[in-house]
Amino acid sequence: MPTIHLEMHPGRTIEQKRDFARQVTEVTAKTLACPPESVDVLITEIPREHWAKGGQLVSDKDTAPKAALAR
């Protein structure tokens, strides 16, 4: 049973998540020659204050002045 795990920031609509799950399931089933019913798609939303990139919280980068980011 293939399991696809997507981690992303919150903010997508339920329609976007539904479409993502449908399309990923179709591609996975076709590529791996398995029934769509065997494909699990897990979507985990991680708040920006729980995600760091380059040693800095993404939420801090969102609020930092542009000049400070250029350094």
**What amino acid positions are annotated as catalytic residues?**
2
CA distance 34 to 56: 41
Residue 58, amino acid: V
Smallest CA-to-CA distance from 4 within 46, 40, 38 is with 40
